[in-house]
Structures are given as structure tokens and as C-alpha cells.
Amino acid sequence: MADTDSPPTLLYDDIVVGTEYEILADPVERDDVARYLRACGQQDVDLYGDTVPPLMLALIKYLKESLAATWPPGGLHAGEKISVLDRLPLGTPFRVRTRVVDKHPGRRHRFVSFDIEVTTEDTTCLHISRRLTWAA
């Protein structure tokens, strides 16, 4: 991975609805999938053929998202919905795009909602809606 810029560190008040963070990811190759499957205890490392396993893609998404922005400290995971929409062929470059879709400063907790997409030039492979909360 060749990301050289440090991610911006955000405070809750700095988060703006509509802001997007995007990372271009290195393609996932067959050796990467084999290492991932072996680490999960899978003996058949060709189980997915020429497709990146969806949960591996979700894991990569988390890593890439953490490079896009450093969210305020103290945030707790309040909910998430993952939709696998299409396959990601091995060796295909992809992007991880995180967009702030809602921000709600409540009396006891503050919430931020994100939409996260993993896309190729041709399709959206994975969509994740995530909600984080902070004590007010």
C-alpha cells in the first residue's frame, strides 16, 4: 500500500454532512486471498475462484477507511448494515469512498452516519451504512 498522506484528524464539530473521503486501493491478488483464507483456517484457498471474498473486502474497507480520516476519539459503534452488491474480480483496482450523510447532536449522545462504498470502474461491490455515537 502506497498511501503517503497522513489522514486528517477530526473533532466532532469538524465533521460536515456531505463531506467525502476517498482512497484508491491496491488490487487484491490471488496470494492475498490465499493468506486471508489460511488465516481464517480455510484449507481450500481456491474456494472463491477469481473473486475477492466479500468479508475480506469488508476488512480491507475498514483498513482503507481508517486511512481516509481519523474520527474523533471516544466514538462507539452504534450500528451497521452491510450490502454485498457485486463481485470484485482479483486484480481489479477499487476505491473506498466514505461520505458523511447525517449528524445529530443529541442531549445525551451525538451521532454521525456514514455511507461507505467499495467501487470499481464498472460497479459498486459493497455498500455499508454505519452509525457512530459519542457522549455529549
Does 69 reside within a domain? Answer: yes
Contact yes or no for 136/109 (Cβ under 8 A) = yes
Does 94 reside within a domain? Answer: yes
Does 6 reside within a domain? Answer: no
For residue 102, pLDDT beyond 90? yes
Does 7 reside within a domain? Answer: no
Q: What tens digit of pLDDT does each residue of 22-81 get?
A: 877 778 888 888 888 887 787 777 777 888 887 777 776 665 555 455 667 677 778 888
Tell me the C-alpha to C-alpha distance, in Å, between residue 20 and each of 7, 9, 49, 60, 113: 13, 14, 33, 18, 12
Q: Which CATH number is 89's domain given?
A: 3.10.129.10
Contact yes or no for 51/89 (Cβ under 8 A) = yes
Distance between CA atoms of residues 132 and 98, nearest Å: 13
Q: What tens digit of pLDDT does each residue of 105-123 get?
A: 878 888 989 898 888 899 9
Distance between CA atoms of residues 97 and 23, nearest Å: 7
Distance between CA atoms of residues 118 and 95, nearest Å: 6
Does 120 reside within a domain? Answer: yes
Does 59 reside within a domain? Answer: yes
6's enclosing H/E stretch is none
Amino acid at 15: I
Q: What grid cell was written down for 123?
A: 460497479
What's the total number of domains in the chain? 1
Amino acid at 73: P
First to last CA, the chain: 36
Give the chain's largest Cα–Cα span.
Answer: 51
Instruction: State which residues form the domain around 61.
Output: 14-135
Please tell me the pTM assigned to this model: 0.71
Angle ∠(22,62,133) on CA atoms, nearest 5:
95
Does 2 reside within a domain? Answer: no
Does 1 reside within a domain? Answer: no
